[in-house]
A and B are shown apart, each in its own frame.
Chain A
Amino acid sequence: MIEKKQQIFNKLGLHARAAAKLSHLANMFSADIYLIYNEDKVNAKSLLGILTLAASVGNEIMLQAAGADEQEAIRAIGDLFDRKFDEEI
């Protein structure tokens, strides 16, 4: 299992569209992937789960992955956060 701290850079935070992109990406990996924020842990493959976090810009969340492709999963998801979910220039 690996973990990575990740900051949220996009203005709107983990709103519906960003959550959809995130869960879509997470579903491409076989590893179990979780987001941890404010003591809440949700499955990154679940869109509605991500929405319950209500995490916004500037917040720091923890990414957690366990499984065969955990490295790739964390890298790809971290990259999506860093790219601000491709929402802003």
Chain B
Amino acid sequence: MAKDVKGIQLTRVRELNQLKITRAFNEKWLPNLVRHPRPQRPGLGLTGYLKHIQDGRIQIFGKTEAGYLSNLKEEEMGRCLKNYFSLRLPGVIVAENIEPAGEWIAMAARYATPILVSELHTAPLISRLSAYLYQYFSKKIKLNGVLMDVMGQGVLITGASGIGKSETALELVNKGYQLIADDVAEFYIDSNDDLVGRANEAIKNLMEVRGLGILNINDIFGASAVLEEKKLNLVINLEKWDAKKKYDRLGEDNQCFKILGLEVPLINLPVGPGRNLSTIIEVALRNFLAKKSGRLTYLEACQAASTLPPGNREGAGGETT
């Protein structure tokens, strides 16, 4: 179920430790809403070209803005600031601990605009702020399954209730891989168009194993067994072994799991007696990584070999192992 978000108050933005906000002016208007994931530097907006200054975007002032304004004559500066702040922007963050001039603060106050000051340089300030805002504003979706990091890849293990998702995940944790979320994972699209999953705060680090109860993986296995969030690379769906169903015998199925408009590779794994799922998943990941790095699958190698002249066929498949 996807959800859209309307806005985030600057009060929340101010509390983000990673932004290193040192002080705030016009605090009365901190409840203003930022309604856009991308921060904006006004640049030419201060000279009077306001066409692309967008409503709802948080504004970032750096040395350029501060320098430009301080070089203007008093009258001119007043006019620029008035034109700019009369757009009723949600708020301004001044970077590099630059002290906002009295004129800025007064004009911002006239148009209900708070000003925050950060220690960071503009580039890291913008990248940290937009990473946070992208996560905040992006469509979110909850999926049933266990999200794990296996060999550096984000893997979502799905399947019907009781099929053994958590047990398989526990084996993987025991082998040294990391848990992100058990049972329900929340996904959003980040600024790189990647699908990133994390756990709901209420169940972070927790895993339910029938017979043992709710386990805190961080307490039992240590901090190296859990991860905050992970980009999704592969979905592995566990299903009951069905003798009538045709399973992939040659490794030629390229199935996809569609979510929020993106496609993620999908593997259907039948669960049956004598199948050690955590090992099969590890091998699936090795195979996935090999394919990703350009290795040919067995079938592709056979095809490649059959197009070679007979004399060269020997050893043509050798590179693929």
Interface residues of A (CB under 8 A from B): 16, 27, 39-43, 45-49, 51-52, 54
Distance between A46 CB and nearest chain B CB, rounded to angstroms:
5
Q: Which residues of B contact A16 (CB under 8 A)?
A: 214
Contacts A48-B182, A48-B206; is A39 near B3 (CB within 8 Å)?
yes
Q: Which residues of chain B in 181-207 are interfacial with respect to chain A, using CB atoms and an 8 Å cutoff?
A: 182-184, 200, 202-203, 206-207
Q: Which residues of A contact B315 (CB under 8 A)?
A: none
10 A-B contacts, Cβ less than 8 Å apart? A40-B1, A45-B162, A47-B214, A48-B184, A48-B208, A49-B144, A49-B183, A51-B203, A52-B142, A52-B202
Distance between B219 CB and nearest chain A CB, rounded to angstroms:
16
Taking a contact as CB atoms under 8 Å apart, the answer to whether B183 and A54 are in contact is: no
Q: Which 9 residue pairs spanning A and B have beta carbons closest together?
A: A48-B183, A52-B200, A45-B161, A48-B203, A49-B184, A46-B183, A51-B202, A41-B1, A52-B202
A49 to B193, CA, bound (A): 26
Taking a contact as CB atoms under 8 Å apart, the answer to whether A42 and B202 are in contact is: no
Distance between B172 CB and nearest chain A CB, rounded to angstroms:
17
Main secondary structure of the interface of A (DSSP, over half): mixed
Taking a contact as CB atoms under 8 Å apart, the answer to whether B206 and A40 are in contact is: no
Q: Which residues of chain B in 15-44 are interfacial with respect to chain A, using CB atoms and an 8 Å cutoff?
A: none
Taking a contact as CB atoms under 8 Å apart, the answer to whether A48 and B214 are in contact is: yes
Which of A40, A45, A47, A48 lies at the interface centre, i.e. has the most chain B CB atoms within 10 A of its CB?
A: A48
Which of B183, B206, B214 lies at the interface centre, i.e. has the most chain A CB atoms within 10 A of its CB?
A: B183
